[in-house]
Amino acid sequence: MVGMRDVAKAAGVSLSTVSLVVNGTGYVSDDMRERVESAMRQLDYVPNELARNFYHDRTGLIGVIVPTIIHPFFSMLTAALQHALAVRGYRTLVCSQADSETGEAEYIDMLQRHMMDGIIMAAHTSHAPGYWTSIGRPIVAFDRYLGEGISSIGSDHVQGGQLIAEQLIRTGARHVVCVGGPRRQFHDLPGDSYSAGSDSGNGYQKASSTTFPTIRYYLTLEYELNKAQIRHDYVEVGEVYDLQRYQRMAHEIFEHRGDIDAIVGSDVSAAYCIQEALRLGIHVPGQLQIIAYDDSYLAEAAGMRITAIRQDFTTLAQLTSERIIREIRGGDDDVTRTAPAEAGKEPSDGSFGASADASRGAAAHLAGTRPLDTVVPVRLRVGETTRT
């Protein structure tokens, strides 16, 4: 391998001169530069980034932890993040939870070992918030709460819930099924406790604090449906890894709940529900409306173009990238981190492209759920699966 030393020798200059030329830092006389450059060309010299990174104690790598890259929501998120990070000079390491035996711990370990500069955490975690806070290296949470001092960014789920509720109420829905993750995921984790909330009135124990902000969309939707006296059920599907379970879920919904006239769920759920409805000859949207929550490309490619809450991947990725890079640049201390929000009190700062989530957060039905630091507006994209 040809190194700087060889170039220096060939050009008859010192190591530092070569370095200056390569990096374009400081002044080098044209003559010197010319000599060095021609030597580089002659020797086919390529700087070894590994050495440079070693010196600077950086890798230029940011890990993105997702449950699995196969799920369309996460594949779009990862793509958007990858793009936003690339624009800012960082490369993306795919960290699929499905491929780590020890769960996210493995990736945190890599972070500690300086195999990457920071981590964007977009997967579910079984660790208590205290764990994340104690890591002391750059971490940003995507759409979840990871503990004090760790920034969190995501869509405005309260707005999402409201948009869906409006659509359903306006079109006269009578019995809505919400499909989502295990409800208990939304709840308290050990080591994280704030003032306890009361019963949600739906038979679900509402947690005092949650690591999973998505719950705010269900809670909002349910709150609005209750107000409008529209019946609603919640159906759990398993983890996102197992796409086949969605299919079974769709089958069971129609088997056991013949009288429903609206389904709300992730775009994967929605796609399978459409397939099943078509199979059963149920008319969509005449007899049944379907609304997808994520709006990945799957919402477009399913049996019909699905009406969907469009999460703004571009903005989300942009804000998340900027945030993690700020943490990396800022060093390891908490200087750049957002001040931890106090329990029950909504932070009034964290608002980039922030919508009114924060102000609305005070509503009673959201009591005890934790708003994200930074929240990005969503919008309803109308497809073929809802009535006007």
> Which chain residues interact with a second copy by CB under 8 A?
1, 46-51, 53-54, 57, 59-61, 68-70, 72, 75-76, 78-79, 82-83, 86-87, 91-94, 96, 98-100, 110, 112-115, 243-244, 246-247, 268, 271-272, 274-275, 278-279, 297-298, 300-305
Which residues have C-beta within 8 Å of that of residue 279, sequence separation ≥ 6?
Answer: none
Q: Does 27 bind DNA (CB under 7 A)?
A: yes
Nearer to a second copy, 294 or 373 (CB): 294
Q: Using the rule CB under 7 A, is 111 a contact of DNA? A: no
CB nearer DNA, residue 1 or residue 335: 1
In the bound state with a second copy, the residue whose beta carbon lies nearer, of 159 and 315, is: 315
Interface size with DNA, residues (CB under 7 A): 29
CB of 47 vs a second copy, minimal distance in Å: 6
Structure letter (DSSP) for residue 228: T
Q: Which of 37, 43, 52, 275 binds DNA (CB under 7 A)?
A: 52
Residue written as token pair 């930074």: 374
Residue whose CB is less far from a second copy, 116 or 354: 116
Q: Is 184 near DNA (CB under 7 A)?
A: no
Judged by beta carbon distances under 5 to 8 A according to partner kind, the member of DNA, a second copy, none in contact with residue 76 is a second copy
Pick one of DNA, a second copy, none as the site partner of residue 220 (Cβ within 5 to 8 A by kind): none
Query: Tokens 């080098």 identify what position?
Result: 28
Smallest gap from residue 11 Cβ to DNA (A): 9
Angstrom distances, CA of residue 353 to CA of 81, 133, 316, 370, 374: 17, 25, 9, 18, 8
> Is 115 among the residues that bind DNA (CB under 7 A)?
no
Q: How far is CA 18 from the centre of its chain?
A: 43
* Under rule CB under 7 A, residue 55 binds DNA: yes
Quick one: which of 44, 57, 199, 259 contacts DNA (CB under 7 A)?
A: 57
User: Shortest distance, CB of residue 21 to a second copy, whole angstroms?
Assistant: 16
**Binds 151, which of DNA, a second copy, none (CB < 5 to 8 A, cut-off by type)?**
none
* Residue 20 binds DNA, judged by CB under 7 A: yes
Report the Cα–Cα distance between both ends of the chain, in Å, rounded: 67
177 to 102, 235, 327: CA distances (angstroms): 35, 7, 41
Nearest alpha carbon to residue 343 among 192, 235, 232: 192
Selected from 22, 43, 169, 278, the binder of DNA by CB under 7 A is 22
Contact 83, 313 (CB under 8 A): no
Element containing residue 308 per DSSP (H, E): strand 307-310
Q: Does 16 bind DNA (CB under 7 A)?
A: yes
Contact status, residue 153 vs residue 374, Cβ threshold 8 Å: yes
Q: Does 58 bind DNA (CB under 7 A)?
A: no
> Which residue, 130, 123, 134, is CA-closest to 190?
130
Distances (CA, A) of 322 to 38, 138, 178, 260, 356: 39, 12, 34, 43, 22
Give the length of the chain: 388
The span of 17-25, 229-237, 244-252, 345-353 binding DNA (CB under 7 A) equals: 17-25
Q: Are strands 379-381 and 307-310 parallel, antiparallel or unpaired?
A: antiparallel
Residue 301: name its binding partner from DNA, a second copy, none (Cβ under 5 to 8 Å by kind).
a second copy
Among DNA, a second copy, none, partner that 3 touches (CB below 5 to 8 angstroms by kind): DNA
Nearer to DNA, 52 or 83 (CB): 52
Per-residue buried b or exposed e for 334-358, using 16+ beta carbons within 10 Å of the residue's own CB = beebbeebeeeebbeebeeebbebb
- Residue 14 contact, options DNA, a second copy, none, Cβ 5-8 Å cut-off depending on partner type: DNA
Strand 262-265 with 307-310, pairing:
unpaired
Site residues, DNA (CB under 7 A): 1, 3-5, 12-17, 19-20, 22-23, 25-29, 31-32, 47-48, 51-52, 54-57
